[in-house]
Amino acid sequence: MGLGIWEPKGSPNVTGTIQMSLHKEEDQDETKQNSVAPNADGNPNTLNLVAVASSTAHSATTTLKTTKKGIVLHPQPHDNPNDPLNWPLWRRDMALIVLGFHCFIGGGQTPILAAGMTKIAKEFDKSPSNTSYLVGGFMLSLGFGSLFAAPTAILYGKRIIYLLGIVLAFGGAIWGACANSFGSLMGARVLMGIGFSPCESLPSATIAEIYFSHERAYRLGFYTMLLLGGKHLVPLLSGFVFDKLTRHWLFWIVAIIVGINLVLTVFFVPETFWDRTPTPNKRSQEETRQARQVAAERLRDALRRQDSFVSNHVPNSFAIPKPEEDDSLSINSLDSSLHNRTNLEIDPEARPVGLSHFTEPATTLSHDSVRKKTFLQELHVFSGRHTQDHWWMVFLRPFVLCAYPNVLYGSLIYTFAVVWLILISETISHLFVADPYDYSPTIIGLFYVAPFVGSILGSSIAGRLSDILVRKMVDRNDGVYEPEFRLVMIIPVFFTVVIGLMGFGWATQAHDLWIVPVVFFGILGFGCSLASTTAITYTVDCYRVFAAEGLVTLNVMKNVVGFLFSLFNNSFVDTKGSKTAFVTFGGIQIFLCLLGLGMYRYGKVLRRWNDEKEFMRYLYVKRE
């Protein structure tokens, strides 16, 4: 039991568990055999692991690329200049910044009307509850848009979906600027929701495609900071527009910014899909034959040791694309952990599909033998079909992932981290326009400075602190990484979100000085940023092979729950008071955080259970 995490019985192969570094003892014992040295060009080092199969077997060298600090790169980049993992860091970061800016604008569209809700209600002669449907309708279309955007992106690439979404959002913004009735404005919001849906369902998967595992948390934190930051800063700016200009001008400004995003995306966000199918073996058949003998012997030993779930089973291997038919690829029963390679001689390119959870084999092609795409080639919108799976299969995967407890828990944490902020955006104008506050839209918009600052601090701390804690926990866990290490961040989430929710509701009902609810609003923004970053990182780390579908699950649940809450949120606050309403919301958050204790302890057992059931198997075309 590593660091309080309950170890499941049976196979050591559990999805999400990876070997990030060698044992210290093992590294010391094999100092003379293994070498870690920086390349002459300063690129990541190469870790040579020498494994002995038996007294009669020959030794072979397995090459794994690592950082200068010895962290094994996961996934292993191919020796191809077109592999996104081989792009210069500035180029990968530029793509992230452009996507992040678009997500910043997209994230702010949900509460963009917050400061002017009272004005809109008067303009169209609607009640505050009916006006809040402009928020709920946008969220619902955002969720269902994700259901269509994600499977299409998996089949045909993310670039074409990003661009198509931006075009729809651009059209919706123009429609909103010209709308003169409540129904027309609702239609514009729905179209914008569909257009901005790729902002929430795809960027996290894009990050997983262009960054290594040890680089992702910080970048996910940056993306989350922009996504949530937009939910705070955009309403702040819209408050000035409502005060000085008109609602129509608000949407014209959005249309201008989205048009700029379209140009930036065309030039700086190429397609990031890369086929990481293992390359067929091109070395001697003798080495392959020896590796097979070792694999067969180890399989017999495993069957003698345990009765259930054969240890050579590779979880979720059905989701990993297989290479072209090659006799040398029939080995599929080798252990994936580094420290168990000491009894194995194996050619690195003879390894089968899904052999390891922490690395895919690098190809033997050199950079010189593969021509790098030209700039014009990278501007192509359509990159072909990327999978043989049917569209309806990919469409159903986010729903099936709800049967995966780890994904379900991550979805709940993420859902309510965003919903709490949306609930405030639906009520803040109503609470502060009336007596005794009697504030203008501009002042109400300025209240969003506090959660904006809180979200920036939360995202920065969440990524960095989470990475630091995880590395220390990995060192104490003999170099083995468990996704549950990310859940340690639930502790600060518990205190900040609960205090922020209850404090905000209590202060507004007691009509405290404006600074009091604003401070609690900032604390809530900080905690929600921690929670959302933690939820995304945990979900992706648990099931990276289902990363795209998992992020859709998170966002669909968030938007559906947000829509449902919008149906009664305003009336609940009006009838029960803000104190009762937000203390109730705080109680829900307490329950979710307490569930994190059980998920930390039994999360690996649940992942193992899902590995056995493999519910997603039926939503993939069978690969022979």
Report the largest interatomic distance among the alpha carbons of the chain, rounded to a whole angstrom: 88
In the chain the domains, ranked by start, together with CATH numbers, are: 82-274+377-387 (1.20.1250.20), 394-623 (1.20.1250.20)
Whether pLDDT at 345 is above 60: no
Q: pLDDT tens, 85-131?
A: 777 888 888 888 999 899 999 888 888 887 788 888 888 888 877 88
For 571, the enclosing helix (H) or strand (E) is helix 569-576
Whether pLDDT at 326 is above 70: no
pLDDT above 70 covers a percentage of the chain that reads 73
Whether pLDDT at 39 is above 50: no
CA distance 84 to 97: 16
Q: pLDDT tens, 214-240?
A: 777 677 778 877 877 788 788 888 888
Among 111-120, 325-334, 460-469, the least confident range: 325-334
| Model confidence band, residue 623 (pLDDT cutoffs 50, 70, 90) | low
Alpha carbon of residue 621 to chain centroid: 25
DSSP state, 620?
S
Task: Find out whether 200 and 146 touch, Cβ atoms under 8 Å.
Answer: yes
Q: What is the mean pLDDT of residues 591-601?
A: 93
Q: What is the mean pLDDT of residues 520-539?
A: 89
pLDDT at 194: 92
Dihedral through CA 393, CA 398, CA 401, CA 406, nearest 10? Answer: 150
pLDDT above 90 covers a percentage of the chain that reads 21
**Mean pLDDT score of the chain, rounded to an integer?**
76
pTM: 0.72
In which order are the strands placed within the sheet that holds 46-51?
35-37, 46-51, 60-65
Burial class of residue 588 in the structure, from the number of CB atoms within 10 Å of its CB (0-12 exposed, 13-18 middle, 19+ buried): middle
Q: pLDDT tens, 49-67?
A: 333 333 333 333 346 777 6
| Model confidence band, residue 494 (pLDDT cutoffs 50, 70, 90) | very high
354 Ramachandran zone, left/alpha/beta (phi>0; psi -120 to 50)? left
- φ/ψ (deg, to 5) at 63: -105, 120
pLDDT at 496: 93
Comparison of pLDDT for 413 and 284, the residue scoring more: 413
| Model confidence band, residue 332 (pLDDT cutoffs 50, 70, 90) | very low
Comparison of pLDDT for 281 and 389, the residue scoring more: 389
Q: What is the mean pLDDT of residues 193-218?
A: 81
Q: Residue 407 contacts by C-beta under 8 Å, 6 or more apart in sequence?
A: 401, 539, 542, 543, 546, 550, 553
Q: What is the mean pLDDT of residues 345-358?
A: 35
Comparison of pLDDT for 150 and 81, the residue scoring more: 150
Among 149-163, 257-271, 366-380, 409-423, the least confident range: 366-380
Whether pLDDT at 484 is above 70: yes
Q: pLDDT tens, 134-149?
A: 888 898 898 888 888 8
pLDDT at 331: 29
pLDDT at 291: 52
Whether pLDDT at 80 is above 80: no
| Model confidence band, residue 253 (pLDDT cutoffs 50, 70, 90) | very high
| Model confidence band, residue 5 (pLDDT cutoffs 50, 70, 90) | confident
Comparison of pLDDT for 22 and 220, the residue scoring more: 220
Whether pLDDT at 529 is above 80: yes
pLDDT at 349: 38
pLDDT at 341: 34
Strand bridging mode 18-19 / 46-51? unpaired
Comparison of pLDDT for 2 and 399, the residue scoring more: 399
pLDDT at 20: 67
Whether pLDDT at 422 is above 80: yes
Whether pLDDT at 353 is above 90: no
Q: What is the mean pLDDT of residues 281-290?
A: 48
Q: What is the mean pLDDT of residues 482-498?
A: 92
Whether pLDDT at 257 is above 70: yes
Whether pLDDT at 464 is above 70: yes
CA distance 619 to 602: 27
Burial class of residue 288 in the structure, from the number of CB atoms within 10 Å of its CB (0-12 exposed, 13-18 middle, 19+ buried): buried
Coil, helix or strand at residue 270 = coil
pLDDT at 140: 87
Whether pLDDT at 410 is above 90: yes
479 Ramachandran zone, left/alpha/beta (phi>0; psi -120 to 50)? left
CA distance 188 to 173: 7
Comparison of pLDDT for 10 and 135, the residue scoring more: 135
| Model confidence band, residue 1 (pLDDT cutoffs 50, 70, 90) | low
Among 211-215, 227-231, 311-315, 601-605, the least confident range: 311-315
Residue among 528, 517, 497 nearest 578 (CA): 517
